[in-house]
Structures are given as structure tokens and as C-alpha cells.
Amino acid sequence: MKILMDELAMARSLKRITHEIIEKNKGTNNLVLVGLYTRGIDLANRVSENLKQIENVIIPTVGLDVSYWRDDELKKVAKPEIKEDFKGKIVIIIDDVLFKGRTVRAAMEGIIAHGRPAQIQLAVLIDRGHRELPLRADYVGKNIPTSIRERVYVQTKETDGVDQVVLQGGRVNV
């Protein structure tokens, strides 16, 4: 196991992502943050808090379980209820690790099922490559080239009691 990011590095990356979101969108008007369960919602809440500190605004932040829309789930789950209407909004999906892209595809389906947004953007703490779908993140904390056999785990204080990103199963050049 190798630690790729510690607590301080994670905080810096999320702060930078927050500033990039503000810059790209010329402010915070019409934004909605959608954190993907489990750790994406932890990161989305932190970006929301950063936006509050930097811009003095409260941005709607929604958690989304994409299991219903996954194309690789064996068991069917109930469609989650989302109270937020995304129609005309700039929706920023926030996830911990971007890998094959299937989770993000499912998230986009779930978002569109709750109103047609003006735009969907993607923020990830880690982009590890190996995409199966033509997706790319708008905001990336860190690019980590990995082998397909390796695993990248983001751990958050809220869920795991510690903030860090770890690599298991091999070597990586960082």
C-alpha cells in the first residue's frame, strides 16, 4: 500500500477545484453539486463549504446513488427519489475516482431523469485512466497513471475516519 495523497494534499486539491469551478462558471449562479455515494458526497460537501467560505454562498448539494442507472448491476434496486430539479441548472458531478466512466454515465442518466440541466460538468479527486467510455473530467485533483490491476482508494474522515488516497496492488509513477 502506498499513500498517494495525505489530508493536506486532498484539502489543497479540493480548494483548487473549487476555485476552478468559480472561474469556469464565472461565479456560482445556477450551480448544483451532485456528490456520488459514498465518498463523492463527502467531497461535494467540502467543495460546497469551500464555496461558502470563498464566495459567501450556499450551493445546493445533493447525494446521488447511481445503482439504479448502472448498466453492470446484477440486482435491480429501487429508483432513488431526488427532490432537486436540475432543469436549466449547471450540475457539477463530484466523485472520488474516475476509472472506466460507467459510474459517471449512470450519474448523467440519473440527473437527466430529474430535469434537463443547462450543462453537466465533472469534478474528480483522482483520474486513474482506463476509460471504457468517451468521458473526461472538467476538474481533476490529481492524475494517477495506474495499471488495470491496481486499485486506488479515496478515504475520507466522514466515512473512513482518515483523509488519504492510497494505491494497492502494484507500482505507480506519481
Provide mean pLDDT across the span 110-126. 96
90 touches 121 (CB < 8 A): yes
Query: Which residues on adjacent β-strands are paired with residue 155?
Result: 164
pLDDT at 75 over 70: no
Model confidence at 170, pLDDT cuts 50, 70, 90, reads: low
What are the tens digits of pLDDT across the range 4-21? Answer: 999 999 999 999 999 999
Sheet holding 139-143, edge to edge: 61-64, 31-36, 90-98, 119-127, 139-143
Domains of the chain (ranges; CATH) run 8-146 (3.40.50.2020)
| Residue 82 vs residue 88, higher pLDDT | 88
pLDDT at site 81: 82
The mean-pLDDT minimum among 83-87, 115-119, 160-164 falls in 83-87
**Chain centre to alpha carbon of residue 20:** 14
pLDDT at site 82: 87
Q: How far apart are CA 1 and CA 110, in angstroms?
A: 34
Q: 3-state DSSP call for residue 62? A: strand
Which triple of cell numbers denotes residue 125? 479527486
79 touches 32 (CB < 8 A): no
Please name the residue that has the C-alpha cell 429501487.
78
Task: Quote the mean pLDDT of the chain.
Answer: 94
Query: Which residues on adjacent β-strands are paired with residue 164?
Result: 155
Alpha-carbon dihedral sign for residues 97, 1, 158, 47: negative
What are the tens digits of pLDDT across the range 23-61? Answer: 999 999 999 999 999 999 999 999 999 999 999 999 999
User: Cα(first)–Cα(last) distance of the chain, in Å?
Assistant: 14
